[in-house]
Amino acid sequence: MSQVARVSAQAKLNLLLRVLAREASGYHSIESVFTRIELADKVAVRVASGRSLDCSGRAIPPDGLGPVEKNLAYRAAVAYTEATGWPNGFAIEVEKHIPVGGGLGGGSADAGAVLRALDALAPNPLGHRLIELATPLGADVPFMTIESPMALAWGRGERLLPLRPLDSRGVILVIPPFAVSTPDAYGWLSADRGTYMPTGMVLAPESLATWEAVAAIATNDFEGPVGARHELITSLVDHFRSNWDQVFMAMMSGSGSTVFGLLEPGHRIGGAEVAGELGCKTILSRTSERVRPVEVGD
């Protein structure tokens, strides 16, 4: 039996997300500060004679995940085989724990995990060149291929500056009863902006060396347009900021719909308590100080 590579595909938060001008190609450049959290999907990859993807887990929506060939994990494996000529086939298993369509990068995390897993199995690993394969798959995927738990990103997410990880903090993820499509979010942002001339922002690594410094620049350009279409998101952010002195930063992650609150050191809030007060599903997690390694075995 062939070896299998297993990895925890960690979710991410955007501590900063600026959407810059639209390029001629139709893509938008971004500026973002990513951090991984402990919430993760479980991904296993094995070299096989055919090509397959099996998904299970509590986070799979009732209507499923759509066609296999459009799944980011599957597309990542295809990209690896086309770029390297290896392997001829693969079998991927994904156990979903990250909410789908929540702005936590679940699909991107799975894609990054598949690229890392295949590279761990490969006779001629690509190493840092994985970012080249990750970039066409989406702006979050390059970050999900690197070994740094925190990074500053530009462009289409492929320009990455690893940052020294900050101390782990508790995080409350509040999951509304709806997902947000990333293309929809971009469309709403463009419609609300009209003609857009971005203001400059130059971030140096030393300006992101503490949680207090990160909180001072934390913003998400999607929060206004998405919140205008889904008022619950605005209400959740406002509720965190107005009623929870244990929370020092609250915002929407990615293109939504998840709203997160980062806790002050030493504070704990029960998930049932938050769920009862906010009327949404909640997940308690922590920011991560490391990237989970790929484990290869039989």
H/E stretch holding 190 reads: helix 182-193
Is residue 140 part of the annotated active site? The answer reads: yes
What is the per-residue pLDDT across 165-174, written as a single tens digit (0 to 9) for each? 999 999 999 9
Is the pLDDT confidence value at 206 over 90?
A: no
* Complete domains list, the chain, with CATH: 4-163 (3.30.230.10), 170-286 (3.30.70.890)
Beta-bridge partners for 77: none
What residues have CB less than 8 Å from 195, skipping those under 6 apart?
A: none
At 126 the pLDDT is 97
- pTM comes to 0.93
What residues have CB less than 8 Å from 149, skipping those under 6 apart?
A: 10, 35, 36, 165, 287, 288, 289, 290, 291
3-state secondary structure of 20: strand
At 271 the pLDDT is 59
- The residue among 177, 273, 260, 274 whose CA lies nearest residue 223 is 260
The token duo for 72 is 């980011």
The model's confidence at residue 241, banded by pLDDT at 50, 70 and 90, is: confident
Catalytic residue among 12, 41, 96, 221: 12
The model's confidence at residue 156, banded by pLDDT at 50, 70 and 90, is: confident
Residues 77-100: b if buried by 16+ CB within 10 A, e if exposed? bebbbeebeebeebbbbbbbbbbe
- Name all contacts of 268-273 with Cβ < 8 Å and 24+ positions apart: 268/170, 269/170, 269/172, 269/244, 271/172
The model's confidence at residue 202, banded by pLDDT at 50, 70 and 90, is: low
At which residue do the structure tokens 């029960």 appear? 270
Measured from the Cβ of residue 34, the count of other Cβ atoms closer than 10 Å reads 27
At 155 the pLDDT is 83
**Peptide bond preceding 257: is omega within 30 degrees of 0, i.e. cis?**
yes
| Lowest pLDDT segment from 97-106, 135-144, 194-203 | 194-203
- Mean pLDDT of all residues in the chain? 91
User: In this structure, what is the dihedral angle of CA atoms 125, 111, 42, 105, given to the nearest 10 degrees?
Assistant: 140
Give the span between the Cα atoms of 261 and 284, in whole angstroms. Answer: 10
At 42 the pLDDT is 98
Give the span between the Cα atoms of 131 and 10, in whole angstroms. Answer: 17
Is the pLDDT confidence value at 203 over 60?
A: yes
Beta-bridge partners for 251: 260
| Lowest pLDDT segment from 105-119, 183-197, 212-226 | 183-197
Catalytic residue among 110, 119, 140, 221: 140
Give the span between the Cα atoms of 21 and 29, in whole angstroms. Answer: 6
The model's confidence at residue 190, banded by pLDDT at 50, 70 and 90, is: confident
At 121 the pLDDT is 97
Give the span between the Cα atoms of 255 and 177, in whole angstroms. Answer: 15
At which residue do the structure tokens 């397959």 appear? 52
What is the per-residue pLDDT across 212-227, written as a single tens digit (0 to 9) for each? 999 999 999 999 999 9
At 207 the pLDDT is 79
- The residue among 18, 17, 15 whose CA lies nearest residue 35 is 15
The Cα-based distances of 158 to 26, 114, 155, 163, 203 in angstroms read 17, 17, 6, 15, 17
